[in-house]
Structure 1
Amino acid sequence: MTLTLAQLHSADVAEATQLLDGIYEHSPWIAAQAMSERPFKSLAHLKHAMATVVNTASAQAQLDLIRAHPELAGKAMVSKSLTAESTHEQSKAGLTQCTPEEFARIQQLNADYNARFGHPFILAVRGARGTGLSKQEIIDTFARRLENHPDFERAEALRNIHRIAEIRLNDKFGVEPTLGNDVWDWQERLSQHTDPGYEELGQLTVTYLTDAHRACAQRISHWMRDCGFDEVEIDAVGNVVGRYKGAHDNARYLITGSHYDTVRNGGKYDGRLGIFVPMACVRELHRENRRLPFGMEVVAFAEEEGQRYKATFLGSGALIGDFRNEWLDQKDADGITLREAMQHAGLCIDDIPRLKRNAADYLGFVEVHIEQGPVLNELDIPLGVVTSINGGQRYVCEMTGMASHAGTTPMNRRRDAAVGVAELALYVEQRAAQDGDSVATIGQLNVPNGSINVVPGRCLFSLDMRAPTNAQRDALVADILARLDEIARRRGLHYKAELAMSASAAPSAPEWQRRWENAVDALGLPLFRMPSGAGHDAMKIHEILPQAMLFVRGLNSGISHNPLESTTSDDMQLAVDAFSHLLEQLAREHA
């Protein structure tokens, strides 16, 4: 029988606990304590309430919960003593049909894992889509997580337990994240296109105007037409633009979207999630034969990552009139100029100035994006409302000292360029941490022609400094550059610091941020506000229109720019629901 929230609300605690039996393995105390949060606004609210009970429990209670779970393909499976839920999950992942070699490998992993961590390996084997991981995916994840720190691994085990509980709750309540599954499937199918040299390695790489990039554009354009967009075009820089008209001819448009290019060997969801979530919303409007008081313009931006050419934000930049003709002479690694690549793709360079949007024709810009960080994942919160996109500055630097013999130069007479940079690196870490939301990184550090027995006379390094406001960023930059100067003077070193990039912060427009907040609250989710440390297309559109972003939780510590980048179809469904709610708010405001 399918359970409802109304049944859960009308039952006493003992009855409600029994109704949720089996959601958390052999641990009815979780459901019992979660009932204090009744009434639940939604199933998502119930899921979070139960997760919160676990996350606020004692370390021993958490460990007992982990140990209440069976090993994968372990003794309980062999003896057929698994719970019905565990039997179904392990069977769906094919673990009940292991080859002798697979079974032996998993048994060895179980033994190694238990010896290292003192509890069984926990993995939501039905996966992010709910249909089941392959046995190879399970084995690969098992082996990778063996390398984790014990504290991190215990938290990762709990996160997987929450995912198991989420899927079990879906089954008990008869809920299927249908639109989230569709968004998931679009991204899976789009990831089949990848650049030569990476396809053979099974890696996703789609850089600007390659064959794979143009194939992605074609596929997105076909899907937009299938969704019911009135107009679909690939514009003069390769953006795929779909327009769904409003109820009146003179209606303004809400513009939204994100990018479809990727970093090299990247993930499937960075950028692309922000294309397919609004596409799903438009498709539902079309199915209902419904027009809003405003139109929707969904843009799949052609370029954001700056992987093939040094110019970045080519797609969103063109929409605000920021396209510089000198970029056309830039060459990629194969010597192909940007002009040649655009001509080969059949793009009309002369039309690029016409892409600039008139702000008066638009209400604003919103963007959905995977978080690309660990915060939402660690908090077990599906959605986050972005308060600002960090402003940043990057410097390419060189520290120069004196190369000398490592054995004969006394420690107090060295002019060691690398040690000077090392001292700066420690200060960079300490200074950024003072601001809370600021971040600073020395991502490149190189001693050219270094030798094991030579004191480094030269060190090349980078500086990347970001903060939610320009004032905070400028103070961070000033302090770090001042410390660089002080270190160089004290150590008898010289330095150069060349500004390579400067981007202003893009604070969310208050009224648009509130709309996202209202949507998240309506879904019964906790409201979590956060800055974006990464750059996004929204920060370009911010120059002409009000903007605000919604973040979606990522799996695997929220890792991004990495093949392990992932999120669940349930969280994608919540993103679609939140976007739909934002549209309804706008419709009421403009009725």
Structure 2
Amino acid sequence: MSLTLDQLNRCAPDEFAAALHGIYEHSPWIPQRAAARRPFATLTALKQALQQAVTDAGEEAQLALLRAHPELAGKAAIAGELTRESTGEQARAGLNLCSPEEYATLHRLNAAYNEKFGFPFILAVKGPLGRGLTRQQIIDTFSRRLDNGRANELAEALRQVHRIAEIRLNDLLGHVPALGNQIMEWAEIIGAWSDDLDGLTCAYMTAAHRKTAAQLATWMREAGMDVRIDAVGNVTGRYAAEDPAAKTLMTGSHYDTVRNGGKYDGREGILLPIAVVKHLHERGERLPFHLEIVGFAEEEGVRFRSTFLGSNAIAGRFDMSLLEQKDADGVTMRAALLDAGHDPDEIPFAARRPEDLLGFVEVHIEQGPVLLERGLPVGVVSSIAGSCRYLIELTGVASHAGTTPMGMRRDAATAAAEIILAVERRCSGTPSLVGTVGQLQVPGGSVNVVPGACRFSLDVRAADDAARDAAVADILRDAEAICTRRGVGMQRELLLRAAAVPCAPRLMTQLAESTRRAGVEVLQLSSGAGHDAMAMAAITDVAMLFTRCGNGGISHNPLETMTADDAELSARVFLDFLRHLRAD
């Protein structure tokens, strides 16, 4: 029979530490220090207390903890000298079955890693789903992390230790993250459908996009919802209240992706509430309001260079002129919709009435490192940054690289370089303010020609519109001065201006209450990324719950990841929020 949290709360301190023996490798001091924080209301609170004990211990104790862990497929593993827990974990990943070549690779990586960092490489080999990584995934992760700096790698190694401890603690207490496992399993299924052979690309109204929409509709129906797909491709599942006159809370996110993107961006915010509704439906539990989950058809703007198509349609702000936009193959959006069986002229009828809504709450992977660095699985979003995007073109004089003296050049590329550094200077040191030049081109450039033209993008974002606009004004003024001094012309085109969106305090407060009840310290953080909630804010109050993003916070990338346990906790917070939602 599994140990229970109640037993851990009631036993003597030495019994508590003995019961958690092996959770942290050869480090009984961790549960000994965490025992003082009892009682723990939730398993998550226990995990957080154990983690805090490590954080508070200082680097010397942390290094001792890391060095207590064995090397992967190292001498201790071959000699059968590992702890029972480590033996099972390495075997689960097949590290006891390595080929001679794989052993040689791992031994070489272990040696290089220890020489560089002074502690062994640590990886939760059971992976984000708890089922085990492949040997190739382990080797790839090993090689990638060797490029880290020491401070970043020390932090990552400790995070991996905590993940190992989390999985072991789940096993000890018989805890299965059922909702999290379901969310991750669904993400794997639709994550395999792509426009490209390599990586995940799911662009608007492609075959992969339409297949994904159909699957979301199926899962919604199986979860007990009434489902429809509207004219823009939004997939909506409605879990009705007993009172037909009740108001509606909306949730959801987008199911399209960037090119070669991750499996959880957007999609977590659809799959997680479906899993929650499935849980409610299986219990025969209804909410006092209608709950609508919307899989927004398009947010990323990959195919037709037009973002938030799905949520703008729901908000009644869809620009019908966009239907004539063409993709790279010359196909119009209208033609793509018709080919998929949609009637573009019906798009305006997708709009919701503000008076029918209680609000819109979006769950989303953070796409950044803030929660990861704080050791927190979830966070409450305070605002969504507004952005300004420009396309800037500089015109100098193309001339011979060998015969044009340095002081006589009108070099468009060096002017661009100086402007880019000005962006970095201006946007550093101000909270939530970021500036990015993500595209940079020298059209028709040649190795032996001074660049006569340069084209680059500028993206400036901040949680406060005034701070963003002041930064943009300063950057453009500096850019003009730089170009004047260098004899270079400048033209700029405003591509996008989106206002920052504050989240509704009443919804934020209730998300914070649910987070606290789950046993997690409440952290409010702003989002630098755009979300469908920005469009939905035009018709109702909005709020967001972030889930921790792994691999250093990487997103819009195949390395984007989260764990089943973090997905589970987000789902439990969202479920608690639904059960306690106050309309006032």
- Show the counterpart of 1:290: 285
The residue that corresponds to 2:558 in the other structure is: 563
**Which residue, out of 342, 347, 369, partners 2:342?**
347
**Partner amino acid, structure 1, of 2:134:** S
- Deviation of 1:60 after TM superposition, in Å, equals 2.2
Name which of structure 1's ranges 83-92 and 282-291 shifts more when overlaid on structure 2: 282-291
State the match for 1:334 in structure 2.
329
Describe the SS at the equivalent of 1:296.
strand
Match of 1:479 among 474, 483, 491: 474
CA distance in 2, matches of 1:415, 1:45: 62
Q: How does 1:255-274 map to 2 (within 5 A)?
A: 255-274=250-269
Query: Quick one: distance in 2 between partners of 1:125 and 1:302?
Result: 35
CA distance in 2, matches of 1:32, 1:430: 47
Separation in 2, partners of 1:582, 1:7: 28
1:212 aligned partner: 208
Counterparts in 2 of 1:62 and 1:552: CA distance versus 1, 3 Å: same
**What CA distance in whole angstroms lies between the structure 1 residues aligned with 2:477 and 2:508?**
36
Question: Given the alignment of the two structures, is residue 456 of structure 1 paired with residue 418 of structure 2, yes or no?
Answer: no
1:396-443 Cα offsets, whole Å, 9 max, x none, are: 001222333444444433332222222222221121123221111111
- Residue 427 of structure 2 is matched in structure 1 by 432
SS in structure 1 of the partner of residue 175 of structure 2? coil
Superposed displacement of residue 589, structure 1? 5.2
Alpha-carbon distance in 2 for matches of 1:449, 1:236: 43
Cα deviation for residue 290 of structure 1 reads 2.0
Counterpart position of 1:24: 24
CA distance in 1, matches of 2:546, 2:325: 33
Percent of pairs with identical residues: 54
State the match for 1:417 in structure 2: 412
Deviations 1:20-57 (A, max 9, x none): 11111111122222223222221111111221222233
Amino acid paired to 2:311: S
Shift in Å, 1:227: 0.3
Q: Distance in 2 between matches of 1:161 and 1:428?
A: 38
Name the CA distance, whole Å, in 2 between partners of 1:498 and 1:346.
36
Helix, strand or coil at the partner of 1:56 = helix
2:306 is aligned, of 288, 307, 311, to 311
Offset at residue 507 of structure 1 (A): 0.5
Please give the TM-score of this superposition, normalised by the length of structure 2. 0.97
- The residue correspondences of 1:159-238 to structure 2 (distance < 5 A) are 159-195=159-195, 198-199=196-197, 201=198, 203-229=199-225, 231-238=226-233
Aligned partners of 2:386 and 2:465 also within 8 Å: yes
Q: Which residue of 2 aligns with 1:573?
A: 568
2:427 alignment partner, SS class: helix
Q: In 1, Cα distance between the equivalents of 2:221 and 2:272?
A: 15
Q: Deviations over 1:194-236 (max 9, x none)?
A: 11xx23x3x111111111111111111111110001x201110
The count of aligned residue pairs is 584
- CA distance in structure 2 between the aligned counterparts of 1:222 and 1:17, rounded to whole angstroms: 47
Counterpart position of 1:155: 155
Q: After superposition, what is the alpha-carbon deviation per residue over 1:268-308, rounded to whole angstroms, capped at 9, x for unaligned?
A: 10111000111112112211222211000100011111111
2:395 to 393, 400, 404: 400
| Match in the other structure for 2:121 | 121
CA distance in 1, matches of 2:142, 2:546: 28
Supply the distance in 2 between the matched residues of 1:409 and 1:54 (Cα, whole angstroms): 61
Whether 1:88 aligns to 2:88 is yes
SS in 2 for 1:531: strand
Matches within 5 A, 1:31-50: 31-50=31-50
Deviates more, 1:311-320 or 1:144-153: 144-153
Equivalent residue number for residue 320 of structure 2: 325
User: 2:67 maps to what in 1?
Assistant: 67
| Cα deviation 1:129-169 (Å, max 9, x = unaligned) | 11111122112212222222232222211111110011111
Pairwise CA RMSD = 1.5
Q: TM-score, normalised by structure 1?
A: 0.96
For 1:145 and 1:414, locate their aligned partners in 2 and report how far apart those are by CA, in whole Å: 43
* Equivalent in the alignment of 2:523: 528
Match of 1:499 among 487, 494, 501: 494
- Inter-partner Cα distance in structure 2 for 1:563 and 1:374: 16
Is the 2:358–2:583 contact (alpha carbons within 8 Å) kept by the matching residues of 1?
no
Q: Secondary structure at the match of 1:255?
A: strand
How far 1:339 moved relative to its partner? 0.9
SS in 2 for 1:238: coil
User: Aligned with 1:327: secondary structure?
Assistant: helix
Distance 1:536 1:469 in 2: 16
Return the alpha-carbon distance in structure 2 between the equivalents of residues 44 and 459 of structure 1.
Answer: 52
Asked if structure 1 preserves the Cα contact closer than 8 Å seen for 2:3 and 2:174, the reply is yes
Distance 1:398 1:135 in 2: 48
Task: Give deviations 1:327-379, integer Å, cap 9, x for gaps.
Answer: 11111111111111100000011211111110111100000000011111122
SS at match of 2:525: strand
Deviations 1:251-274 (A, max 9, x none): 111011001111111111011100
One-letter identity of the residue aligned with 1:355: A
2: distance between equivalents of 1:151 and 1:30? 22
Once the two structures are overlaid, the 10-residue window that deviates more, 275-284 or 144-153, is: 144-153
SS of the aligned residue for 1:89 comes to helix
Shift of 1:93: 1.1
Separation of aligned partners in 1, 2:55 and 2:441? 42
Distance 1:302 1:21 in 2: 49
Unpaired runs of 5+ residues, structure 1, are none
Structure 2 gap segments, 5+ residues each: none
